[in-house]
Structure 1
Amino acid sequence: MRVLQICHRFPPHPGGIEYHVKRLSRFLSSRGHEVTVLTTHRGPTEIEEDDYKVVRLRSFLEPLRNPLPLELPFYFRKIAESFDLIHMHSVYTFTTLLSYPFARRERVVITLHGRASYRGLASLLAELHERISFRILRGAAVFIALNEVDKELMVSRGIDESKIRVIPNFIDLEEIDNLARSSNPVEREGDVQLLFVGGLTEAKNLDSLLSDLRGVDGASLWIVGDGPMRGKLMKLAEGMRVRFLGRMDMGGWIPYALSSDAIILPSRSEGFPTIVLEAMALGKPVILSDIEVHKRLFSGIAIFYRPGDRESLRKALKNLENFDIPPENLRSIVEKNYDIRVVGERILSVYSDLIGD
């Protein structure tokens, strides 16, 4: 099967969609399929990687952090017919919106990957962009929702429910195991050591977490990641037991995870955060904001708190002391449900059904 994956960015640029597409492409390639990734320019124009091809188109504009490669429609029209199936990642990205009009709808799969979160005027523009995007893309053959919340959003935006498949996000357990075996824990910096891994963006809600942590005795926070809010967050963190570690790949942050009491994610919105799965694979508890998607995905296996409520965070940290799910049980949940070798087969089944293979 010849598969084209389309995404707005790709590693080495960090991000959930980026690593999702990389792991999926690697899995498909290992199963003998011919895979090409079409993305935007953050490196060489065209490279071979792990037996699949990556083509990067230059993007000079990034409205709302969304790369706009103006040459994409012209390039896509030249190559589209050479693929059996086209998998587009995110309904919001210009890489999807610029290529979709020139694709054969009956061979297009689109994964939502959650929705973006903005404030102020940007939120109004994002709402309009979302409505237009779903209207343009509703003719695709199959939509993949990472969770039931995303499925409900799709239906509310006019997507035929019969086209939607709910398939969770995934991680590569073998990759994590190899890195963990070669990693040594770093020295802790607090009585309760917390770790955040992700982009420093409004959606991750770190400004709220820093406000909640101020005055919580004994708690220390490591922040792995970079983004547009870094300067503001560093000012908010002055005088606190908070260390900004910058952007790291998985091999860089795993030593910090091994030393942490919990991974914390205070997000205002999420699709299906892989950092939670990665923490569970390492046997680490997770403390999550009480947004709907978190509660639906991780009820019974995570500790929840209400961002903006310091007492709620204090209670969550207290509950951490009594967290009684054994590390091996957390890992087992991931192994049975969220490893790429399990979820990848479900995605491959969608592909096969679509092209009659």
Structure 2
Amino acid sequence: MALEAFTPSKALTLGVELELQLVNTHDYDLAPYAENMLRLMRAHKLPGSVVPEMTSSMIEISTGICQDAGQVLDELSTIRDALVRSADKLNIAVAGGGTHPFQVWHEQRIYDRPRFRELSALYGYLTKQFTIFGQHVHIGCPDADAALLMLHRMSRYIPHFIALSASSPYVQGQDTQFDSARLNSVAAFPLAGRAPFHLDWADFEKFFAKMARTGVVGDMKDFYWDIRPKPSFGTIEIRVFDTPLTIERAAALAGYVQALGAWFLAEQPFMPDEDDYLVYSTNRFHACRFGLDGNYVDPGSGDHMPLRDHILLTLHRIGRHAQGPGGEAALHLLRASVAEGMNDAHWLRRCQQQEQLLAETTRQATRLFRGAR
């Protein structure tokens, strides 16, 4: 099977997908209401889409093609408001967060869709343990080679994306001591991790053809890479973000990706190299484990520094490349939270320390998602 052709798209356009939790309003455990929510959401005219996910306590929302973070926020706000109204009718609630704090994986139900049934047959219990929630950010690329160059440049900033979005400290009722425990579940899949180092699309096509001949993959969806090309969209898709607790932070993360991309195009700050990946796994682990308090090894210089400092330095470098007022607001939101040492994992832990009950922490997360302060 040949790799589908890369469809060019406008450089730096954005698309955002969010996987969201459906919880009951009795004890705030996950609730298998995806089918009911999808039925109610069909009555709303939306700028993007709402679709099922692997298990029936999850749904995925997505924007259309957006020009900047401001448009991402507008579209997510419209979808969020419709979700909240629909959830209220069902007496359930919607929450962000990369994991549900206390759900029990074996109680989850696989959503009845052919691909999900196939994955369940292949991966067994891992499929139900994949009841985790991520944000995917697509960024437009004008051609296939540009997409690979953008992919490998973005790979240096994977620790940034993880630490800024981290919102999964709790799993099965326990504090994992990770800011982003969600990515440990992703790592269990055999085709997870980093993309192979190719900067020429013809070489990437040869790689894909070899993989296809093994029968292991049929299309790009079979790769669970941290970043992967999406040829039919003309994008690269960054997949390491936990779903944030608010749509404002989700839009800000998309604005950060866009500003980074604009910086790459305008200034060509570095050329990626295979040796960049010598420190990739270590940087990724530190971001998952410690979040903003982790360490970062610069792949180019070899310098070691606190990850928080590297993020702040990068925000300073790319500030003038923010796209529009929405992009500037996105960087400001992230800069303020990093300076304070706060991400959503810290918020959840602080809330749990105060409440001493994960159900109440989850309830407050649902209020945060719907826009309550």
Tell me the TM-score normalized by structure 2.
Answer: 0.28
Ranked by relative contact order (alpha carbons within 8 Å, sequence separation 6 or more), the top structure is 2
* Bigger proportion of residues as helix: 2
Tell me the TM-score normalized by structure 1.
Answer: 0.29
